[in-house]
Amino acid sequence: MNPQNDGRKLYQKVVAAISTAIQSGTYKPGQRLPPERDLAEEFEVSRPTVREAMIALDIMGLVEARHGSGIYVTNRRPEGAVAAAAQDLDIGAFELTEARRLFEGEAAALAATTITDEELAELDVILADMAEENVKNVSGEKADRRFHVAIAKSTRNSAITLVVETLWDVRDKSPLCRTMLERSREVGVRPLIDDHRDIVEALRTRDPRKARAAMHHHLGTVIENLLTATELEALQRAQMEVAAKRNEFARRAAI
């Protein structure tokens, strides 16, 4: 069931194939979908792509994580409506962060050759703001965005700055990406201060290779944390359900 190369994003192809299978009755309401690894092999895509597809299907109400045991079909919708909904969800957090890792790594390498002491001092201030936002649990990662855009600006290349700002705009506006990041925040994922500090220190050495490596490491860690957070979501939901059942049992036992 290898998705065709028809211009759609990979996760959208997986969503379309699974929603069609649900519509045709191949997967019935209440049925458990195959494990993530099996779906990745079937569609010849990465596990992060399957994860994005599962979250998209969840958002659309077609599937749900149940009792920590996997992803289950909830209902059926007309195929056309599903396809439109998948298109509306736009880009996912894995795909976006992969693009950022490639592009911002090179931006950091160039910035290492052009950044000024004043701009490095500005990054130190933004780091402090980022740490404060983490403590206060401020959503939106505004300081995080300022940090990465400041590095782009220090390249003295307006096209690079535009691309970095555009990637952040997509991050904030895409429903799928926003949902994935919100779910990550719910399980405790926050901007990594140490990673950002390592980027600043690499820039301070004016070494392009160190700056590139620091940025690659940081955004690679973001992808790993997204994987962990979305994987934990099903378990966390199951734990909440168990806790609710325990409370209900205790209430009945006290009667």
- Identify which has the larger pLDDT, 203 or 25: 203
User: How many CB atoms neighbour CB 160 within 10 A?
Assistant: 20
Domain range annotation of the chain: 10-89, 106-236
- Identify which has the larger pLDDT, 29 or 151: 151
Q: What confidence tier does 231 reach under pLDDT thresholds 50, 70, 90? A: confident
Please state which of the ranges 39-43, 55-59, 232-236 shows the lowest mean pLDDT: 232-236
How much of the chain exceeds pLDDT 90, in percent? 43
pLDDT above 70 for 78: no
- Identify which has the larger pLDDT, 157 or 190: 157
- Identify which has the larger pLDDT, 129 or 247: 129
The mean per-residue pLDDT over the stretch 198-221 comes to: 97
Please state which of the ranges 15-29, 55-69, 71-85, 219-233 shows the lowest mean pLDDT: 71-85
Q: What confidence tier does 237 reach under pLDDT thresholds 50, 70, 90? A: low
Q: Which tens digit of pLDDT belongs to each residue from 96-135? A: 999 999 999 999 999 999 999 999 999 999 999 999 998 8
- Identify which has the larger pLDDT, 140 or 86: 140
In this prediction, residue 110 carries a pLDDT of 98
How much of the chain exceeds pLDDT 70, in percent? 79
Domain topology for 10-89: Arc Repressor Mutant, subunit A (1.10.10)
What global pTM score does this model have? 0.70
Which class in CATH covers the domain with range 106-236? Answer: mainly alpha
In this prediction, residue 187 carries a pLDDT of 66
